[in-house]
Amino acid sequence: MVEIVQIKMEKLVYGGDCLGRHPDGRAVFVPFVLPGEVVNVEIVDDKQRFARAIPVEIVQESPGRITPRCIHFGECGGCQYQNLDYAKQLKAKADIVRDQFERIGKFDDPPIKPIIPSPSPWNYRNNVQFQIGKGGELGYIHADGEHLLPIYECHLPQTMINDLWLQINLGEDPGLYRLGIRQDTYENLMLVLEGEDKTPPEFSLDIPVSAVYTPPEDRLTVLAGDDHLTYEILGRNFQVSARSFFQVNTKMAEKMVQFLLESIKFEADTRAVELYAGVGLFSAFIAEKVGHLTAVESSGTACHDFAVNLDEFDNVALYEAEAEEVLPTLNLPIDVLIADPPRSGLALSVHDAITALQPEQIAYISCDPATLARDLKKITRNGYRLVSATPFDLFPQTAHVETICLLETTV
């Protein structure tokens, strides 16, 4: 039986939904609506303590609601905030970071600094991934998280990516499940084709782009051009292979690097450690300021890129391993620790090692305010003070937010 209830929405919450209250008092989470709106909603997931719903009719609109740019908004799972102007998006994200710090981290009046906006709220992504339907259609995951939504426009990728993907015709049953498209600083494009078969598919495209085929747990095959692209950050070039991660918003990556260089105290004899170092985005700028840098990264392709990107430095040691394997074994004094972990945050053994090693300064970079708040709660209970938390809007129009936290030892 379908349950329709009328709810007044209260606030945007972590994950992109808006929170309101069911007539029985339970929290109800609804996507694509705004605080202050009165909405008729259909309950789609009814739990004992909360419910999830989808909007059926907006009875009273927020005066802050604007017309979304994309025809897919409201169905696509990629964007959550296109119905808000950019200034309000920024405020919502800063408020959400603060809420997570207070509620999960148990911080009273957390030192949240003003959010750093993206230079462009549109066409900023240098990397996009499409899911592929059985008919070869390109799409994103639907907002319901359950099926593919064919896509005919998207306003987040950089211009050359948008020009390219609209020309791609994979045909029926292409033998692929995902297609990635990347654009580097020098306007080079790369297609990353993913499929289950070890044998690459037939490939032809009358456009000068690089293309690779990458089955899971098997070797990558170069179909055309190179196996990597080059991104320039603050005058330094970074090789990024097809299987390596790099920040999707190049201009904001520059702002994050600048922030770290201005915020951390580096000396000529500083001993620094970077966990989850990737291709060396932060390490390359830190290495020239410290006496010694130890970097840890588990991805083999990222380590290969790191070695290329930091080849000029002889004061850098790179470990290809998990952070929880390496950090507890380091028997050396650490002045600065930089960590940019995956969404899941820090493993317990990493927390224990941080407590034992007691670096003087910590910079914690996170794309997940909830796990960040959880980890900061542990770190600050083990001899550290949270100096500041600065949100960076790497992902305009979406609910995602990056945050850089600075901590100092109190021991």
Q: Report the alpha-carbon distance of residue 80 to residue 72 in Å, rounded.
A: 11
CA torsion sign for 129, 135, 141, 142 is positive
Classified as helix, coil or strand, 274 is strand
Strand stretches in 47-188, DSSP E: 50-60, 127-132, 138-141, 148-150, 178-183
Query: Three-state SS for 185?
Result: coil
Query: How many angstroms separate the Cα of 281 from the Cα of each of 245, 295, 363, 375, 403?
Result: 10, 11, 14, 23, 16
Using a 10 angstrom Cβ sphere, with 0-12 exposed, 13-18 middle and 19 or more buried, the burial of residue 372 is: buried
CA distances from 376 to 59, 163, 324, 327 (A): 41, 42, 17, 18
Place of tokens 């060396």: 280
Name the residues annotated as catalytic. Answer: 367
Q: CA–CA separation, 390 vs 70, rounded Å?
A: 29
Torsion sign (Cα): 262, 268, 270, 275: positive
**Residue 132: DSSP 8-state:** E
The torsion angle over the Cα atoms of residues 12, 17, 20 and 22, rounded to 10 degrees, is -170
Rounded Cα distance, 41 and 57, in Å: 7
Do residues 154 and 122 lie in contact, with contact meaning Cβ atoms separated by under 8 Å? no
Nearest to 263 by CA among 373, 363, 115: 363
CA distance 40 to 178: 36
From the list 141, 137, 132, the residue with the least C-alpha distance to 152 is 137
